[in-house]
Structures are given as structure tokens and as C-alpha cells.
């Protein structure tokens, strides 16, 4: 997978030829901003997800000491830090307590945005201490899905640096028909936003 991504010029995080490479961030300039990305793998606590070692390929496990150090090293180099987690349980619309704990810790360590995936359905979006946590983004283009049609959404995030550094996010509803995403409109769009808003009601603060 990594070889094909490299050949296509697609940056990636969370896996590598060894642990050092797997923990290496990707930094991209987006207009005038530097955005850093980190990735971690761990579907459930203590799960074995082909962890990388000092001399073997694999993924970066969801270990708090790794996250803390990696975010600490990346933070001074960029304007915003985005951390991605492959985690959770398929088809569940609410995160488990261990995911919420790790997401909060990640923001505490200095990340601005936490993004999760694996459940293949949307979960809620939380505002926490100035950061934003999207626990699961559902599906976008997922060729392994036996369903040829489903409704989902994109998370559109706007960063602004400087004295009034801030971050805003909004939902962009989509439909996926034969693996081709298109924008949703009308009542379907409103219903999709309301679903995600409902999933976000468990949090003290959300983007809604």
C-alpha cells in the first residue's frame, strides 16, 4: 500500500518500513498555513494491529506516550496539528469511552483537530478546549462496500492563524452512487446534518 501511495505521490501517515518512519509526520502548506498530520492505529484497547518495530514494517499503535511526544515535536513546526485515528467499532454511531479519553488527551497534548475513521458511519463532533474532534467520518469512496448507494458527509475545516487563531468546521452532506460522491441537496441534506447533530448531543460542546 505504501509503495503504491508513494508512486502516486500521495502522502501518508501512521505506517512505515519501521517505527521511526511510521511515526514521521507529514507537513503541508495550505495557502499561508503549515498543517502537520500524524496517524495512529488501534481499533480497540490492547488490539494487535501489526505494530511497527525498530526494524520491521507496520503501523503506529495508539499509545499515549507516542502521541504526546510526536505532537510535542511537531507543534513548534506548524500552525495547526491534525491527528488521525483508525479506531472504534463498525456501524456504531457513538464513540466508546476509551476513544473519548484518547481524543481529549490528544487535544491536551497540543493537537488542534482529531479525526477518526473505521466505523464506516458518522459519529458526533465535539468541541474540546479549543480543539475539534470528529470521532468518525463515515465513508467517502469505499470500493469494498457492497452497497452501491449511501449518504454521508464531508467535514470542512477552516483554519485562521495569528492573534485570533481559530478553527471552524461545518458539515457538507454528500451521496455516494456507484462509488461516485456528489453533493446532497434539499431535505436529504438537512436530514444528514440533523443526524450528525443528534450524534453530537452527548458532548458538552459541539460545532452545532
Instruction: Name the strand (E) or helix (H) holding 21.
Output: helix 19-22
Bridge partners, 156 (sequence order) = 170
Please answer whether residues 80 and 110 qualify as being in contact, where contact means their C-beta atoms are separated by less than 8 angstroms: no
Q: How many CB atoms lie within 10 A of CB 60?
A: 26
Question: For position 102, what pLDDT does the model report?
Answer: 97
For strands 131-134 and 125-128, give the pairing: antiparallel
Helix residue ranges, H only, 58-185: 64-74, 97-109
Q: How many CB atoms lie within 10 A of CB 61?
A: 20
Positions of the chain with pLDDT under 50 = none
Q: Which fold has domain 2-144?
A: Purple Acid Phosphatase; chain A, domain 2 (3.60.21)
Look at residue 153 and give its three-state secondary structure.
Answer: strand
Domain ranges of the chain: 2-144
Distance (Å, rounded) from C-alpha 153 to C-alpha 139? 8
Vertex 88: Cα angle to 74 and 174 (nearest 5): 85
Question: For position 124, what pLDDT does the model report?
Answer: 97
Bridge partners, 160 (sequence order) = 166
Question: For position 144, what pLDDT does the model report?
Answer: 60
pLDDT tens for residues 9-64? 999 999 999 999 999 999 999 988 999 999 999 866 566 678 999 999 999 999 99
In the chain, % of residues over pLDDT 70 = 95
pTM of the prediction?
Answer: 0.92
Question: For position 145, what pLDDT does the model report?
Answer: 58
Amino acid at each position: 500500500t505504501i509503495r503504491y501511495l508513494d508512486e502516486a505521490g500521495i502522502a501518508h501517515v501512521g505506517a512505515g518500513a519501521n517505527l521511526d518512519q511510521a511515526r514521521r509526520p507529514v507537513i503541508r502548506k495550505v495557502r499561508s498555513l503549515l498543517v502537520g498530520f500524524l496517524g495512529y492505529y488501534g481499533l480497540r484497547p490492547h488490539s494487535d494491529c501489526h505494530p511497527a518495530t525498530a526494524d520491521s514494517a507496520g503501523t503506529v499503535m495508539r499509545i499515549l506516550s507516542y502521541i504526546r511526544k510526536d505532537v510535542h515535536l511537531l507543534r513548534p513546526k506548524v500552525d495547526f496539528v491534525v491527528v488521525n485515528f483508525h479506531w472504534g467499532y463498525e456501524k456504531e454511531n457513538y464513540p466508546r469511552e476509551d476513544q473519548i479519553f484518547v481524543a481529549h488527551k490528544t487535544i491536551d497534548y497540543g493537537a488542534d483537530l482529531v479525526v477518526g475513521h473505521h466505523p464506516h458511519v458518522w459519529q458526533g463532533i465535539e468541541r474540546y478546549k479549543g480543539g475539534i474532534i470528529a470521532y468518525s467520518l463515515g465513508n467517502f469512496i469505499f470500493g469494498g462496500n457492497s452497497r452501491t448507494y449511501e449518504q454521508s458527509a464531508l467535514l470542512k475545516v477552516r483554519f485562521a492563524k495569528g492573534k485570533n487563531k481559530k478553527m471552524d468546521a461545518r458539515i457538507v452532506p454528500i451521496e455516494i452512487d456507484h462509488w461516485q460522491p456528489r453533493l446532497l441537496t434539499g431535505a436529504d441534506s438537512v436530514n444528514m446534518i440533523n443526524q450528525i447533530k443528534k450524534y453530537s448531543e452527548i458532548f458538552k460542546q459541539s460545532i452545532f
